[in-house]
Structure 1
Amino acid sequence: MPRTPSSPALLAGFLAAMGVAHAVAPKPFDAIVPRALPGSPRLWTYASGAAELAVAAGIAHPRTRRVAGLAAAALFVGVFPANVQMAADARRRSPAHRAVAFGRLPLQVPLVLWARSVSRGAASR
């Protein structure tokens, strides 16, 4: 079984980059906000981007890494419905777009495991 990455710096960088992307180019994120959520998709896009930035900052700091790693795992689970929405919407798109949209679904599992690994690594120090 492949080893789960545990680099806190890499996870913090990934989350920070995604948080910035939500603010700089929100339109693609707006498109995958599940329509069942109340309010504006843009509000959800900005809120999830802010959450990613906050969790990234928490992971970057050793004192808050354990809790922030757990928060990152929860965040990855929480944004899964957006990936499902993207896959559902991709049914009418090109095969390449469908492959990317459906390929993202199983990627949430290693992300959750990575965040939990970062959290456990911080807890043992």
Structure 2
Amino acid sequence: MGLLDALLGNASANDIQETQNDLARLLAPGEQVAKAYAIFRDQIIFTTKRLVLVDRQGVTGTKKEILSVPYRSIERFSVETTGHFDLDAELKIWVRGQTEPISKTFRDNQSILDIGRALAEFAL
């Protein structure tokens, strides 16, 4: 991932094996990382069993919130692309049992469309 892309809020694909090694202690037996994307310091990870959202917090980014969402709990999702005057693309994921969706903002259409396709592949 390029530093400029990260600063601009563009998602980029992460190395799957490196992500697998980073999450080794959290993954269930037989669970594999299928796709991984980074947005600045955060990550969106698709495994064979669930969606994992990693939110790095604080100035140093050493503190992390890791949200695990089984695919069966995803009720719906939406992808909003950028426009001429609205330069933010937005991904919303509604999870069963929550009233508000999980929301992520992107700066380019290609990133959000790739993640939307991955969501369709794993959650549908």
Normalised-by-shorter TM-score class: under 0.3
Q: More strand per residue: 1 or 2?
A: 2
TM-score (normalised: structure 1): 0.25
The answer to which structure, 1 or 2, has the higher relative contact order (CA under 8 A, 6+ apart) is: 1
Higher Cα radius of gyration: 1
Q: More helix per residue: 1 or 2?
A: 1
TM-score (normalised: structure 2): 0.25
